[in-house]
Structure 1
């Protein structure tokens, strides 16, 4: 498949939409004019929307997000076949199963775009601070592009996930949590490695990252044949929910869709910086984080993207308990979809909300259950003299 040229033209500030910057280099430390010592405003990519091909959304869904290349930053890194994930219906709700991506999580959409930026910039490598999914994905896409990767992992990340990351040839450094981001900045400044994760006081991350997540919205629209009434997304820093919201907003802007969905952020109750920011009217906040087994989305540092997505869509920020996520995880597994605990947060929040919607509801399920804490540590008890009754006894 020959990708059409990107129509990306600039980076635009979410702190002040009238401010724009050249497309390159990516401003990975936030908007230089609107950010303050306490709040960093992200940037997003702007496009020449008037030139978007009229048949762009008439294509059949296929793996490789390059099918949407006019509405993505230039894709200089090769694909691993990301995208084209199934939309499954269970008991009146649709589940977008992102565990079916190449490294078993939604992060592959982001890293196809951000590693492309590293390739385009001629960077000698990429560096990421990650507890799991993001690190594995960045390592895989860096390897595919022929770039070395450094992954700064936390001591709490599952050993199996760190093994997964190392399998791609990445250098994994397990460091104290408070050293990960200062060390990342040192590697960027001293070695010139391209950062594919956050460097700022509140979260900005890579300005190109959420552009990869837009393709979830494009696919859902194609799979449903319409815009859903609501979308529930597991939320850490808010890059995913903002990307999904932006994708639907673009469909509406281009006249492809008649409206947009309400989007709901779904955070562990032990943290919840997006919910706190919306409750207090702040652009982004930092909160104390307690304990949650949903480590992939447990954040104390918030970002402005999630706040914007909820406000602009008329959605809501929801907090979910670990027990609610475990129930949703079991519900999905008993229907053939094994999700990481964090990946079940969207369905958990939808079930807990108990609200009726005038149209389809989509819950984004982000990552395979293989990424969870404690996976692989249980040894099964051997049944010494099995009978057929052992095989059919209730679970």
Structure 2
């Protein structure tokens, strides 16, 4: 097995007991076998030979955007070809508030950072294909990176998936299986067991997901640090907590390497209709399950959480926030007023900041995860023809607040 020689990844380390480690291969998609139980699955994370990281890795660069390849030493082996993921803009909203706009990635979401890493694992293992359970960003991104790597992709989607996302999936040639949401994880395990496809999303009772995936999210922290230094806080739209964990780990690595002396406070921002991470923090559990209600933030409306999110909040002295649909809609409108069209879930970071209030300690960053193209109501507004005469035009302009 020939691996990418730039990666300094060494082992998989248990998050349930950091004294326990496993070889880097194969990725432990079911979490740590020594510490997991039927009720709680503890993930593993990738460890690195940090003493071999060269200082020039974090030197300023003015060259062309290099994607995740720039950070290859601190990522699992990148064997799948990239699509130019990463390098997204940090947009200044004023008053010390910045938005990291992840909708500028190749499939218009933050998920491209993890799928470069997870599809690479499938390539290394020689898997005949990949399978993912998703009705949105994750599935679309996985399908794109699988297509780029020449692998078939199976996406288990639910009937509530936005039609625009369904079109997105088929454009990449994915096999889309629309099944009841509660059946997806069980069917995914069958596909893994029967066909040998490599799983790119969760298989366990509480969330572990793919151990290589959150490593891709670390690069968001690297990019923020390169432009802004260490912000006072980062507000993160949160479903299973992988993004939250990855951003926290990235800043922790910068401190470990002596490039900073602190980490930002992390704020998880979940829809109030669910909120398993908030429940886990409130009860002191390593992970929790909660009932979920209806919300426009379907992409992060999770019934089950995982230990990664709990770890990230504790390590950064952070907090778990719950945001209402009204707060999400207001944040989405604010972003649109600044020229950024996001889906409702992607506005959760800014919604959390506006609910929490500004920090007096320095700049804050809100992560906006994906494009408004992915939202449930996209394309649902019917055309509204108007009589092409000046009086009719004038009435419409006045109604819009435009002086004539």
TM (normalized to structure 2)? Answer: 0.95
Partner of 1:48: 49
Secondary structure of residue in 2 paired with 1:128: strand
Unaligned runs of 5+ in 2: none
Task: Report the Cα distance in structure 1 between the residues aligned to 2:304 and 2:66, rounded to whole angstroms.
Answer: 33
Task: Report the Cα distance in structure 2 between the residues aligned to 1:292 and 1:381, rounded to whole angstroms.
Answer: 27
Displacement of 1:59 in angstroms is 3.9
The 3 A distance-change label for structure 1 pair 63 and 104 is: farther
Partner of 1:120: 124
Secondary structure of residue in 2 paired with 1:55: helix
Task: Report the Cα distance in structure 1 between the residues aligned to 2:330 and 2:383, rounded to whole angstroms.
Answer: 23
Please point out which of 284, 289, 298 is paired with 1:281: 284
Displacement of 1:223 in angstroms is 1.3
Partner of 2:152: 148
Question: How do residues 30-49 of structure 1 correspond to structure 2 at under 5 angstroms?
Answer: 30-49=31-50
Displacement of 1:391 in angstroms is 4.7
Partner of 2:171: 167
Displacement of 1:378 in angstroms is 1.4
Partner of 1:250: 253
Partner of 2:203: 199
Displacement of 1:156 in angstroms is 1.0
Displacement of 1:91 in angstroms is 2.8
Task: Report the Cα distance in structure 1 between the residues aligned to 2:359 and 2:235, rounded to whole angstroms.
Answer: 14
Partner of 1:57: 58
Please point out which of 343, 347, 364 is paired with 1:344: 347
What is the CA deviation profile of residues 89-114 of structure 1, one whole-angstrom value per residue up to 9, with x for unaligned ones?
A: 11321000000000000000000000
Task: Report the Cα distance in structure 2 between the residues aligned to 1:4 and 1:23, rounded to whole angstroms.
Answer: 14
Displacement of 1:356 in angstroms is 2.4
Task: Tell me which moved more, 330-339 or 354-363.
Answer: 354-363
Partner of 1:311: 314
What is the CA deviation profile of residues 342-389 of structure 1, one whole-angstrom value per residue up to 9, with x for unaligned ones?
A: 000000000011142301100000000010002102112111124363
Q: Does 1:360 align with 2:363?
A: yes
Task: Report the Cα distance in structure 2 between the residues aligned to 1:63 and 1:339, rounded to whole angstroms.
Answer: 24
- Count of equivalent residues: 392
Question: How do residues 5-20 of structure 1 correspond to structure 2 at under 5 angstroms?
Answer: 5-20=6-21
Partner of 1:110: 114
Task: Report the Cα distance in structure 1 between the residues aligned to 2:128 and 2:60, rounded to whole angstroms.
Answer: 36
Task: Report the Cα distance in structure 1 between the residues aligned to 2:317 and 2:360, rounded to whole angstroms.
Answer: 13
Partner of 1:373: 376
Q: Does 1:267 align with 2:270?
A: yes
Task: Report the Cα distance in structure 2 between the residues aligned to 1:98 and 1:289, rounded to whole angstroms.
Answer: 26
Q: Does 1:238 align with 2:241?
A: yes
Secondary structure of residue in 1 paired with 2:340: coil
Please point out which of 378, 385, 401 is paired with 1:394: 401
Could you tell me whether the CA contact under 8 Å between 2:216 and 2:246 is conserved in 1? yes
What is the CA deviation profile of residues 49-104 of structure 1, one whole-angstrom value per residue up to 9, with x for unaligned ones?
A: 00001111014272411100000000000001100000001132100000000000
Could you tell me whether the CA contact under 8 Å between 2:232 and 2:359 is conserved in 1? no
Secondary structure of residue in 2 paired with 1:384: coil
